[in-house]
Structure 1
Amino acid sequence: MPARPHAPALMAAAGLAAALVVAPLTAAAAAPTDRAAAPAAAPAAALADPDIDVAKVRAHLDRLSAIAAANGGNRATGRSGYQASVDYVKATLDAAGYTTQVQSFSTSSGTSYNVVATLAGTDPSRVVMAGAHLDSVSAGPGINDNGSGTAGVLETAVQYAASGQRPRNTLRFGFWGAEEQGLLGSKAYVASLSAAEKAKIALYLNIDMIGSPNPGYFVYDDNAAGNAVRDEITAWYTAKGIPSEYIDVQGRSDHAAFRAAGLPTAGIFSGAETLKTTAQAQKWGGTAGRAFDPCYHRSCDTLANLDTTSLDRGADLVGAIVTRYAAKDYGTTIPPTVGNLLQNAGFESGATVWTGTAGPITNSASRPARTGSWKLWLGGNGSAGTETVNQTVTVPSTATAAALTFWLRTDTAETGTTVYDTMRAQVVDGSTVTTLGTFSNVAPNATYTQKSFSLLPWKGRAVTIRFTATEDSSAQTSFVVDDTAVTVG
């Protein structure tokens, strides 16, 4: 086996955008293998809140309406109108300069698709998302539900790209399939992400109906993790002189899968089949005792079923929140992986948070990562030396279960049954070092296998998780670690 490429002399936080881990999607481009050659760009200054052109939002809706008219009057999952909608959205995002991918998944109506568009930020550890469902019900063209949300998000994406702004945080837009069949597209997307990729999502903003003809101005209030965004949305409405109301949408839209994963979510909504009250009509106008959208899930959900003022306000709010959070400085700390005490647990943010020997955390193509592009590659130098990589965690005193898990593959140029090279998983508690497991050049396994060790003896203590590899001066042995976790129960 070839020796591992030499690494830079200093361990640095990587400033590289990680590949999107969504099977069967493919990464836009391979990251450079020499991390020292890729200095991080300085974040650009935040833009002022944009004015999203409602005429251009309406133009997207005109196109979706024409697609429905040409395909049996709807854009439902499994129908030709949905495929044409996917093609239109993808082509629009491609033309705007996004890295655009289509994710397929199965439904009772056949294969459906999500469209996911990404604009890499200068901070690869954070992702800000906005999304809307792209499908309609089979009964009608779905212009308010949810052509309005789709068009608002799509035009925001187009206008942001045209501004020339490079976001501080990676910016991602999702257009979900099969929402009307049970939120299937957004569920498939979230399920396809590794724990490390989920942890990067700092915000998911959901836009489901913003052009109701008898509109209200509702703000999602069903996820405490998103309260800061919720409050910023209400402050935006207040600054515009627009009354708003909180609403718990009971998991009825595509933020639900993100919320279930423990991620911050927020959203806006202009109302559906519920009747507008007298008090709501007094503050918002419109007709009391009439549904916010009398054509909800009906054939009359056409271009005539829109309030242009509500559509304009909704699109402008999407543009404002996306622009602000794309530029938001979350600091240099990587958020902990959801359900995992380790930070940057899959190494997709390079060496950030981890300490120790420079170089073993790498995206070199010479050894594959289990997921994503980055991994911890210890050894593989074919020369005498020791390498260590560490991270400190605190095991809660209330834990009834606690474990260190990681995935390991080993290959070697050594022969025979003599141990020459080793890798140890260790816990460092003050001056005491405990070896949980030792792996060597003997009986290597070039397929990733998961290892697990109890950490209950250290509950209530701050300890350092350490991976240590020692090679002799003969042939190389490579120990490649990925997708680490410290989980507690």
Structure 2
Amino acid sequence: MRVRKFAYAGVAAALTATLAVTGTAYAGAAPAVTAAPVAVAPPVISADVSMAHLQKLMSFASASNNTRVIGTPGFTSTVTYIKQQLDALGWKTTVQNFTTGGKAASNVVAEWPYGDATHVVMAGAHSDSVSAGPGINDNGSGVAALLANAAAIAQAKLVPQKRIRFAFWGAEEQGDIGSSYYVSHLASGESKKIDAYLNFDMVGNKPENGRAVGWSLYVEGQSNGLNAPFKTYFTAQGITVNPSLDTDDRSDHAAFKNAGVKVTGVSSVRSLSALGACYHRACDDLTDVSSTSMGLASNAIAAAVWSLAGA
């Protein structure tokens, strides 16, 4: 989150072995009757899956002067890793290259090739960090949670009613450049096909100062129903969420909102004034995230994406 100035075959066993996907069996009334489709329950994703991805992102930062900011090997390695993971899972990926401030950056956009392409449920997270640190919570956490979901969808061989599209944005920390570039370069009419955009920025917070993690939903989602599956999930976990995090358009949902797309998102912060002691600092490393939060985030995303896409 920026400051306003002011697997399957190709995924390591540690990632795939921890996925458990459940479903509901259908028994037809008679052999001659064709069974109607039945909704598949969302997956149960172990926190180990997303934590394994975070360990990889940390290794890229460690080899790049403790940063994954655009224009560094840490960012380039992150982009390569994301694409490799998604390609191995059977997602159709596109790398969208652009420059900002004289530095090269990239978006990775991945589409699960099933469902109605005129009705898209899109989820995104920014893949870059600030120059001051490795960005493991901000926002390796969102990247890792989405990759865990990509693996779960692939393992389930999901055939949803709507098309599912994941995006990993570059240069968010420079002012939401990657997501703005993507939206501005959509072909005419393509933004109208996006039924929902869900943003995940800083979902790995750990408890601090004796206070529990404060989960929040973006205020923009209140009036359009997108928050319903998130609320259902967190309620089932016994967690009360802040239903109105005022993001001040400080992340990648802003470009979609401005284009008329319905948006919301989830963050593991109580408010923008409580972003954590390591926010945008060198200590935003693996010690700055909670595996419990990563598990909750991954499964909250699954609940929402599967519900909204008509899995």
Summarize the Cα distance change of 1:113–1:181 in structure 2 as closer, same or farther, 3 Å threshold: same
Matched with 1:237 is 234
Alignment pair present for 1:305 and 2:271: no
Cα deviation for residue 307 of structure 1 reads 1.6
**TM-score, normalised with respect to structure 2:** 0.83
Paired with 2:271 and 2:221, the residues of 1 have a C-alpha distance of 23
Matched with 2:168 is 175
What 5-or-longer segments of structure 1 have no aligned partner? 1-41, 276-290, 329-489
Summarize the Cα distance change of 1:249–1:273 in structure 2 as closer, same or farther, 3 Å threshold: closer
Cα deviation for residue 44 of structure 1 reads 5.4
Matched with 2:260 is 262
Could you report, residue by residue, the CA deviation over 1:273-318 in whole angstroms, capped at 9, with x for unpaired residues? 855xxxxxxxxxxxxxxx4521000000010111221121111101
Matches within 5 A, 1:25-424: 45-214=38-207, 215-223=213-221, 227-246=224-243, 247-271=245-269, 274=272, 291-327=274-310
State whether residues 216 and 270 of structure 2, in contact with CA within 8 Å, keep that contact through their aligned partners in structure 1. Answer: no
Aligned partner of residue 124 in structure 1, secondary structure: strand
Summarize the Cα distance change of 1:164–1:103 in structure 2 as closer, same or farther, 3 Å threshold: same
State whether residues 44 and 167 of structure 1, in contact with CA within 8 Å, keep that contact through their aligned partners in structure 2. Answer: no
Could you report, residue by residue, the CA deviation over 1:130-159 in whole angstroms, capped at 9, with x for unpaired residues? 110000000010000000111001110111
Summarize the Cα distance change of 1:132–1:95 in structure 2 as closer, same or farther, 3 Å threshold: same
Could you report, residue by residue, the CA deviation over 1:246-270 in whole angstroms, capped at 9, with x for unpaired residues? 2111100100000001111110011
Cα deviation for residue 271 of structure 1 reads 1.8
Could you report, residue by residue, the CA deviation over 1:422-481 in whole angstroms, capped at 9, with x for unpaired residues? xxxxxxxxxxxxxxxxxxxxxxxxxxxxxxxxxxxxxxxxxxxxxxxxxxxxxxxxxxxx
Paired with 2:58 and 2:41, the residues of 1 have a C-alpha distance of 32
Paired with 2:260 and 2:59, the residues of 1 have a C-alpha distance of 38
Paired with 2:63 and 2:271, the residues of 1 have a C-alpha distance of 27
Letter in 2 for 1:264: K
Paired with 2:37 and 2:176, the residues of 1 have a C-alpha distance of 35
Cα deviation for residue 122 of structure 1 reads 3.2
Could you report, residue by residue, the CA deviation over 1:192-240 in whole angstroms, capped at 9, with x for unpaired residues? 1123211110111100011112321000012566x30123322321122
Paired with 2:36 and 2:191, the residues of 1 have a C-alpha distance of 23
Paired with 1:304 and 1:152, the residues of 2 have a C-alpha distance of 17
State whether residues 212 and 272 of structure 1, in contact with CA within 8 Å, keep that contact through their aligned partners in structure 2. Answer: no
Count matched residues: 271
Paired with 1:196 and 1:112, the residues of 2 have a C-alpha distance of 26
Cα deviation for residue 109 of structure 1 reads 4.2
State whether residues 120 and 167 of structure 1, in contact with CA within 8 Å, keep that contact through their aligned partners in structure 2. Answer: no
Summarize the Cα distance change of 1:274–1:321 in structure 2 as closer, same or farther, 3 Å threshold: closer
Summarize the Cα distance change of 1:202–1:184 in structure 2 as closer, same or farther, 3 Å threshold: same
**TM-score, normalised with respect to structure 1:** 0.53
Runs of 4+ in structure 1 displaced over 3 angstroms?
A: 42-45, 272-275
**RMSD over aligned Cα, in angstroms?**
1.8
Higher relative contact order (CA 8 A, sep 6+): 2
More helix by share: 2
Summarize the Cα distance change of 1:109–1:300 in structure 2 as closer, same or farther, 3 Å threshold: farther
Cα deviation for residue 78 of structure 1 reads 1.2
